[in-house]
Structure 1
C-alpha cells in the first residue's frame, strides 16, 4: 500500500478522500494549502499526491510547476478541480501530472486513477515549458504521452474524466444478449453515480419499480455496496 498526500482547501473533501483511501489500505496525509503540501512532501516523500487546482494561496498548477522545476516530481500527481477544462488538463499534464479528475469525482474513477498512477512510471514535465536553468528531464512529453488522457486516434484531444460519463463505447461483435447486458450495466452505473447511489432516485429516473430495479442490478453484477458507500465525491 502507498503513502498518499491529499492537498485540498476544502475540509470535507480532504476528510472524504482520506476515509476512502484509508479504507483501501493506504496511509493518507492531508494538507490544506501549498505551504503544508511542501512541508509534507519534504518530510514524507509520498508515493502519490492528489492535488487540487484552485487553492487560496498558491494554485495547484503553480505548485506542480514549482516541483517540476526543482526536480521534485519523484511521485505521480493527480490533479483535481471542480472547474476544470480540457485546456487545464493539457496544461497540468505538460507540467508532469499523471491524470486529471474533475469534481464531483466518482468513487470508481478515483480508485482507478490512484491504482493506475501507482503502477505507471512518473511522467516528466515538458522541458520546453520550464524556465531557463531549471531541472530538465531526459525527454519532454509529446502529444501521445498524456498517460491515458488521449484516446487512440485523437492525439491532440485529451479524454478528461468528468464524473459520470453519458457516452460509452461498446463491443458490438458479440451475441445480442451480452451486448444488451453490457449496455444496461453501464446505463445503471451511470445513473447510480449521477444520483449519488440513491436507489429511489434511480428508480424514478429509469421508470422501474424499486424492487425490480434492485433485482436487475444484482443480475447485471452492479456493485451496489460501492455506490452506497460514496457514490460521488
Structure 2
C-alpha cells in the first residue's frame, strides 16, 4: 500500500480530524491511540510516514521514537506533534531521527505542506539514510554527539574528518534543525558564477560539502564570499574531508588563507573499527531496512552472527570499507543464508570466503572482484556522480582486460561493445597499451 500515514494521538478528536483531512487528500490512514498500538501497527507494516504525538499516557512519543531508532525501525519520516513541547524537545526529537515538528493546533496549510515534504523525503532517502543515533551508543559516538550539541548554537563552519564510508553526512545531519532544509552542494561551478545562490532558498538550513579536496581555487574564493552572508540568513556550513585539514594544505588541495578565513570547528568522525561495539545495532538497522525495501528476504541475525561480525578482522584491518562494507556484508549474509536465521556458521563461512588463507593475496577472478568491491568501489559513494562513473568504468575495463590477458576481441565480446568503440573508450579513460595487446600478438 502506498501513501500510508500512521496517526498516533491519544485524543480521539485530533485523530479523527487529521484522518478525515488526509483521506480527503487521497492518503491511506491508520490510527493508533497509544504507543503500544502504534508499535504493533509498525511491526505489521511500515507506513510511508508517521504523525506522532509527544505527550501520551503510559508511554510518550519521544520514547517510541527512540525505540524505533535504536532497533532499526525508523525507516520512514516521523513528524512529532504537540501543543506543549519546548524547542529543546523538538530539537532532540529531530536529532533522534524525527523529520520535523508540528505545533498544535495545527494549521491546515502547514499540515499538508509538511506531509507532502515528508512523503517526498521518505521516497528519496528510504534506502540509505540513518540518523546519527543509529550509528551506535558507544562512548566514542556519544562523545561525538555531545560535542555536536555543544556547537549547535554557534554560527561557525564545521569540518568533519573521517574515512570514506564512516558516516560523515549522517553526523552532519545531527545539526539540522526541525523542518530546516538540507542543501548538498554537488555542482561546484555556481560558487564561481553566483556564490549567493542558495541564501534565500535554504534560509535557516544547512549547506553540506561532502569533500573539501574537490574545491578548486576559484570555488574556494566563492565559498569565502558566501561565508560572509551565512549568519544573516541563519545558514550553517558543514564540510567533510577524508584527510586532516593540515594535509589538504600540505598537498595543495586547499589554500592556507582559505582555512584561516573560514575559521570554524573541526571534529573527527570515527571509523567503524573504532566503535566496533556498535556493529550489532547498526547491522540490525541495515537488515530491517533491506527487508522493508525488498532487497532481501525476511531474515533475522542471531546473537552469534552479530558477535562474530563485531569481533572479526578482514585483511588484518577491521571493516576498512566502514558502513557500506558492513551493509554489503549484511546483504550477502541475508541472500546466502540457508534458512530464516542468519547463524554464527553463516557469518563464519562468509568471513572465511572473504579472507582466504592468512597472508594470501587476491589473485583469482572471484578474489579480485571482492577486493575491488570492498576496497575500491566503496569510496565512490561520497564522490560526485561524473567522477564516480569515470572511476568505475576505468576499474571495470581494467578488470576485464586483465582477466582476458589483454585480448581486445574477448573483452569486446564480454562487455558488449564493438572493438572500435572499445578502443575509443579505453583511450578516453586513459587506459593504454600496458593492459592490452594487439590481436597480432596472440599466441
TM-score interval w.r.t. the shorter chain? 0.5 to 0.7
Report if aligned partners of 1:67, 1:73 keep a CA contact under 8 Å in 2: yes
Output the CA distance in 2 between the equivalents of 1:88 and 1:145.
12
1:27-58 superposed Cα distances (whole Å, 9 cap, x missing partner): 10000001100111111211000000000011
Residues 93 and 125 in structure 1, CA contact (< 8 A), matched pair in contact too:
no
Q: 1:151 aligns with which of 190, 200, 204?
A: 204
Q: Could you say if the C-alpha distance between residues 112 and 99 of structure 1 is closer, same or farther in structure 2, counting changes exceeding 3 Å? A: same
Q: Report the alpha carbon displacement of residue 144 of structure 1 after superposing the two structures with TM.
A: 3.8
* Contact map agreement 2:90 2:178 (CA 8 A) in 1: no
1:124: which partner in 2? 130
What does 1:1-233 align with in structure 2 at a 5 Å threshold? 2-120=3-121, 121=125, 124-127=130-133, 131-132=137-138, 138=167, 139-140=170-171, 141-144=173-176, 146-148=178-180, 151-152=204-205, 153-154=233-234
Mapped partners of 2:104, 2:93: distance in 1: 16
Per-residue CA deviations over 1:102-132 (Å, capped at 9, x if unaligned) read 1000000000000000111356332389534
Larger Rg: 2
Alignment CA distance shift 1:128-1:25 (3 Å): closer
Contact preservation (8 Å) 2:80, 2:98: yes
Q: Is the 8 Å Cα contact of residues 99 and 147 (structure 1) preserved in structure 2?
A: yes
Structure 2 spans left out of the alignment, 5+ residues: 140-165, 182-202, 206-232, 237-443
Deviation at 1:147, TM superposition (A): 4.6
Cα displacement string for residues 63-108 of structure 1 (whole angstroms, at most 9, x for unaligned residues): 0010000010111000000102211111110000101001000000
Distance 1:90 1:6, change over 3 A: same
Q: Tell me, which stretches of 5 or more residues in structure 1 are unaligned?
A: 157-233
Structure 1 runs (4+) deviating above 6 angstroms are none
Mapped contact 1:68–1:95 kept (Cα < 8 A): yes
Q: CA deviation at 1:142?
A: 3.3
Q: Partner of 2:174: helix, strand, or coil? A: coil
Distance 2:53 2:136 in 1: 21
TM-score norm. by structure 2 comes to 0.32
How many residues end up aligned between the 2 structures? 154
Report the aligned-residue RMSD: 2.6
- Normalised to the residue count of structure 1, the TM-score between the two structures is 0.60
On the 8 A contact 1:95/1:124 being kept in 2, the answer is no
User: 2:375: which partner in 1?
Assistant: none
Q: CA deviation at 1:6?
A: 0.2
Structure-2 separation of matches of 1:47 and 1:36: 17
Q: CA deviation at 1:146?
A: 4.8
**How many Å separate the matches in 1 of 2:17 and 2:54?**
18
Q: Tell me if structure 2 keeps the 8 A contact 1:144–1:155.
A: no
